[in-house]
Amino acid sequence: MVVKLNRAGLRLATSLVSNGKVVHDERDAWSEHAPSAAQENEFIEKHGFSEYAKWHLGIDSSKPEDTKGRYSFPFGDFSKVHRCAVISLESRAAQNDHDDIAKATKRLLTRIDRK
């Protein structure tokens, strides 16, 4: 598995943070705030995989584009960035040696905390 930083996802996350579309929640809230599989499927049905991809900071180019498995490190609920998601994915990225994703999330978290 070769997961790289999804620059389109980072651009969306950065833009949302700049526009104040952030939920300033606590570290452990992501399990409750993350979209369910049904919500993900509904989003994909309405907007397609190219828009779904933008809500993730990781992309595995070895997997087909039209599968959820290609996209990892989600940062929001399809409307806002969640601080708890960014914290969670920063530690997961670091633990799994995805340094580019870990660095990007650290910068994103700094932006969130400044707002």
Total domains, the chain: 1
The conformational region for residue 35 under phi > 0 = left, psi -120 to 50 = alpha, else beta, is beta
Q: Which of 53, 70, 92 is nearest to 1 (CA)?
A: 70
Full residue range of the structural domain in which residue 73 is found: 3-114
Express each pLDDT in 60-111 by its tens digit.
999 999 999 999 999 999 999 999 999 999 999 999 999 999 999 999 999 9
Query: What DSSP designation does 67 have?
Result: S
The pTM score is: 0.93
